[in-house]
Amino acid sequence: MSAVPAIRVEGLQKSFGANHVLRGIDFRVDVGEVVCVIGPSGSGKSTLLRCVNRLEEADDGSILIEGEDIRDPDADVDLLRSRIGMVFQSFNLFPHLSVLRNLTIAQRRVRRRGRDGADRVARENLARVGLAEKADAYPAHLSGGQQQRVAIARALSMEPDMMLFDEPTSALDPELVGEVLAVMRDLARDGMTMMIVTHEMGFAREVADRVVFMDGGVVVEEGPPDRVLGDPAHERTRRFLQMVR
Amino acid sequence: MTRRQRQRLLRGALYASAVLVVLALVAVADWELLRRNFLDVDIAAEMFPDVLLVAARNTILYTALAFTFGLALGLVLALMRLSSIAPYRWFATAYIEVFRGLPALLTIFLVGFGIPIAFQTRWPVLAQITLGLGIVAAAYMAETIRAGIEAVPRGQMEAARSLGMSRGRAMASIVIPQGFRIIVPPLTNELVLLIKDTSLLFVLGTTPATKELTKFGRDVLTSRANATPLIVVGAVYLLITIPLTQVVAVLERRNARSR
């Protein structure tokens, strides 16, 4: 494990108007680590994830991406973001572009790759998520599970150092959840650094190196999945786990 | 009589009286006089081929120039209205309110008189036309374009930013192309309005080579003291606008399939 964490968050504060969503979060993800963040809705876990790549502006605290402060006014946020893959609950594929163009547009416009190079990377990543034959399809013609796998391949095509997943299976029909989790499992096995906000407890227990439980804008407890999910130290964690079972 | 029968009877009586009124008007109208004044074949024939080669061509040319200029300026204004910089928003709002509120004829007049005074030269007539009509078109299109951009879900901008695109790049590559797809129908509508507004351009002054359809028709009307030219140019307008809206409808259907 590298000395500099992939993500290091300290004292993070965030409010939406009068709603104090994050109340001093300390959080880290090491290089190659898979961290699942769980907790009831409204606990601030998605907001934490969205602050990490500055889609949401934190009010206070520091967020270091591989040691670089993404909140620094002089930071090149676009460059930092291009090293952080993100997968959304609602996929957010670009509906006016074919699957292949979804995967190449940022490579070409941000990474300045040529068409051939970008196409090659895109097709490799489509094959990786099992959708090589869908390169010319449009997003509207894919199932939810396929769309989410394309979204993962789109993020991977930027060859990011880490991946953020914001409830990647919450918008899917139950029978489509498995195919997306399978892709994420493969990614974890390949050593990708991952921060995953999820309600899939079985997946968290199987894949995570560490589970973080959040409630009310604070990290209540964290540790190995077997301990946090199997034998939680806090009453709040225990109550939450009983409810989701 | 049931309520339903009564309604049917009443409706029948209304139709019958409407038909009677029309028939009466048709019977009373002087058809021979109408024919001579509105459908004089000789006068209609004289208008060709200039009504197509000069007048219709100019109408289409002026529309295309004003639409292109209006679309470009409208896009800039729409982005200014959505800007986080307050003075940009104020300027765009003021522009839109002023030029939507003024009659197009007045704006074209102002351009036609204003430019020679402001710059002490006469601009080429095409430049004046583009500016005069385009200024008005931009005000309407800015609001349409803004609505289109706002209709694109916020997740699209977020996904683009998360891939490392700058705000401007994300707008240009992801948000604006989708916004324009949404506004094809209202933009078509504005294009048709613009075709008809070219009839106001006569106030800039015309030569035989720069007349558009309405001015062309009115000049023949005056010289021959006959209204047939109005029918002819009217038909030419429809010959332009109806195929246009049909083509756009086909394009839109094709577009919908890829979404």
Closest-approach residue (CA) in chain B for A77: B164
Q: At B123, is the pLDDT very low, low, confident or very high (cuts 50, 70, 90)? A: confident
Stretch B17-25: mean pLDDT, rounded? 94
Nearest Cα to A125, choosing from A99, A145, A92, A96?
A99
Stretch B178-197: mean pLDDT, rounded? 92
Q: How far is CA A168 from CA A6, A87, A215, B55, in A?
A: 21, 6, 20, 60
User: Tell me, what's the pLDDT at B206?
Assistant: 82
Taking the Cβ of residue A81 and every Cβ of chain B, the question of whether any pair is shorter than 8 Å is answered with yes
Q: What are the pLDDT digits (tens) for A129-184? A: 999 999 999 999 999 999 999 999 999 999 999 999 999 999 999 999 999 999 99
Residue B177 above 60 pLDDT?
yes
CB contact under 8 A, B165 and A95: no
Which single residue is written with the structure tokens 């021979």? B32
Q: Please give the full DSSP string across B130-166, using - where no structure is assigned.
A: HHHHHHHHHHHHHHHHHHHHHHS-HHHHHHHHHTT--
Q: Please give the full DSSP string across chain A, using - where no structure is assigned.
A: --SS-SEEEEEEEEEETTEEEEEEEEEEE-TT-EEEEE--TTSSHHHHHHHHTTSS--SEEEEEETTEETTSTTS-HHHHHHTEEEE-TT----TTS-HHHHHHHHHHHTS---HHHHHHHHHHHHHHTT-GGGTTS-GGGS-HHHHHHHHHHHHHTT--SEEEEESTTTTS-HHHHHHHHHHHHHHHHTT-EEEEE-S-HHHHHHH-SEEEEEETTEEEEEE-HHHHHHS-SSHHHHHHHHHH-
Contact A28, A50 (CB under 8 A): no
Q: Shortest Cα distance from A94 to chain B (angstroms)?
A: 7
Stretch B151-176: mean pLDDT, rounded? 96
Identify which of A82, A90, A109 has the shortest CB distance to residue B173.
A109
What whole-number percentage of chain B has pLDDT above 70?
98
Closest-approach residue (CA) in chain B for A80: B164
Which strand ranges, in their side-by-side order, compose the sheet holding A34-38? A84-87, A162-166, A193-197, A34-38, A210-215, A218-223
Contact A78, A244 (CB under 8 A): no
Identify which of A81, A105, A140 has the shortest CB distance to residue B161.
A81
Taking the Cβ of residue A165 and every Cβ of chain B, the question of whether any pair is shorter than 8 Å is answered with no
Q: Which residues of chain A have pLDDT under 70?
A: 1-2
| DSSP 8-state symbol, B210 | T
How far apart are alpha carbons A149 and A182 in whole angstroms?
10
User: Tell me, what's the pLDDT at B19?
Assistant: 95
Task: Collect all residues of chain A within an 8 Å Cβ-Cβ radius of residue B252.
Answer: none
- ipTM of predicted assembly, 2 dp: 0.94
Task: Collect all residues of chain A within an 8 Å Cβ-Cβ radius of residue B177.
Answer: 96
Contact A98, A137 (CB under 8 A): yes
Residue A55, C-beta contacts closer than 8 angstroms, at least 6 positions apart: A86, B158, B161, B162
User: Tell me, what's the pLDDT at A134?
Assistant: 96
CA end-to-end distance (rounded Å), chain A: 34
How far apart are alpha carbons A64 and A51 in whole angstroms?
11
Which strand ranges, in their side-by-side order, compose the sheet holding A19-29? A19-29, A7-16, A60-65, A68-69
Closest-approach residue (CA) in chain A for B157: A92
Nearest Cα to A78, choosing from A48, A111, A105, A46?
A111
User: Tell me, what's the pLDDT at A203?
Assistant: 95
Instruction: State whether residue B209 is helix, strand or coil.
Output: coil
User: Tell me, what's the pLDDT at A1?
Assistant: 47
Residue B98 vs residue B124, higher pLDDT: B98
Contact A85, A155 (CB under 8 A): yes
Average pLDDT in chain B: 91
Q: What is the pTM of this model?
A: 0.85
What whole-number percentage of chain B has pLDDT above 90?
59
Residue A48, C-beta contacts closer than 8 angstroms, at least 6 positions apart: A9, A12, A22, A25, A27, A37, A197, A214
Helix (H) or strand (E) holding B15: helix B3-28
Q: How far is CA A206 from CA A87, A166, A181, A183, B213, in A?
A: 20, 18, 11, 14, 75
Stretch B51-58: mean pLDDT, rounded? 89
User: Tell me, what's the pLDDT at A2?
Assistant: 52
Both tokens of residue B196?
Answer: 């008809």
Cis ω for the linkage preceding B116 (within 30 of 0): no
User: Tell me, what's the pLDDT at B258?
Assistant: 58
Helix (H) or strand (E) holding B116: helix B104-119
User: Tell me, what's the pLDDT at A230?
Assistant: 92
Closest-approach residue (CA) in chain B for A56: B158
Stretch B27-44: mean pLDDT, rounded? 87
Taking the Cβ of residue B182 and every Cβ of chain A, the question of whether any pair is shorter than 8 Å is answered with no
User: Tell me, what's the pLDDT at B122?
Assistant: 76
User: Tell me, what's the pLDDT at B43?
Assistant: 86
How far apart are alpha carbons B149 and B96 in whole angstroms?
17
Stretch B87-101: mean pLDDT, rounded? 96
